Amino acid sequence: MSTSTQSPATQNELVAQSPIIIPDPPENPNPVSVHPMVTRFRVGTNCPTERLNLHVSSVSPLPKSYRDAFSDTNWKNVMRDEYHALIKNKTWTLVPRPLDTNIVRCMWLFHYKYLADGTLSCYKARLVANDSTQLEGVDVDETFSSVVKPDTIRTVLGLATSRHWLIHQIDVKNAFLHGDLSEIVFMHQPPRFWNSVHPDYVCLLQRSLYGLKQAPRA
């Protein structure tokens, strides 16, 4: 008896020519459907549909200038509120522009105020003086600011605890605007809020304003 030996190349050719056995598809979990197409729903591999509740809030972007801010209703309203607060507080009086006198420039700053959970609380617009345009000895002298010492805070809290006092915290709105100025400071009118009758007048500051070098002291 003779035994025939096939070479490895011949064995590979036989494997390549052998038919491929395709397994039967899984049992249809939905026998009502008789459509021959195999779908994920029929074989039970479909994923549940995720339903998302998306809430889109329209937050006005931070303006790059007062012109951009005035074209947005949200920022425009807070600018007017800030301006009216300054006028109500009698922060300045309009006077004719004096000759050979330094006039401090001012600008608007914008930012958001958030709640503790990170949600938007309100828009904030603040008129600040540009202290780089102040001249020492002319419209600014002393610039120190009083700072409370940590030892004082610990003493007060310790005294309140030992005597069972109630402790409250308050936030003074526009705190810097309640300081009286001892120097004579002239400032340009706020951008976009020029007086229509006297657009060439300047503001003679009666109260301190954010940005002034002497504002913390005042």
User: Distances from the Cα of 172 to the Cαs of 110, 169, 175, 177, in angstroms?
Assistant: 19, 10, 5, 10
Beta bridge partners of 207: 180
In angstroms, the CA 59 to CA 81 distance is: 19
The span from the CA of 15 to the CA of 51, in Å, is 50
What is the structure's pLDDT at 182? 74
Residue among 174, 171, 201 at smallest CA distance from 86: 174
Lowest mean pLDDT among 51-55, 140-144, 187-191: 51-55
Please report the pLDDT score of residue 28 as a whole number: 54
Residue 94 pLDDT exceeds 90: yes
Q: What is the pLDDT of residue 141?
A: 64
pLDDT attached to residue 26 = 57
Whether the per-residue pLDDT at 201 is higher than 90: the answer is yes
pLDDT-derived band of residue 146, with 50, 70 and 90 as boundaries? low
20-32: average pLDDT:
58
**pLDDT over threshold 80, residue 172:** no
C-beta separation of 68 from 117 below 8 A: no
Is the pLDDT higher at 138 or at 85?
A: 85
Query: Does 3 score more than 60 pLDDT?
Result: no
Q: Lowest-pLDDT range, 85-94, 103-112, 131-140, 197-206?
A: 131-140
Query: Would the pLDDT of 39 be above 90?
Result: no
**3 state DSSP class of 122:** strand
Q: Buried b vs exposed e over 157-173: b needs ≥16 C-beta within 10 Å? A: eeeeeeeeeeeeeeeee
Q: For the chain, give the mean pLDDT.
A: 77
| Band of residue 163 on the pLDDT scale cut at 50, 70, 90 | very high
Asked if residues 141 and 183 have their Cβ atoms less than 8 Å apart, the reply is yes
pLDDT of residue 18: 55
Q: For residue 98, what are its two tokens?
A: 């004096």
pLDDT at position 32 over 80: no
**Range of lowest pLDDT (111-115, 146-150, 171-175):** 171-175
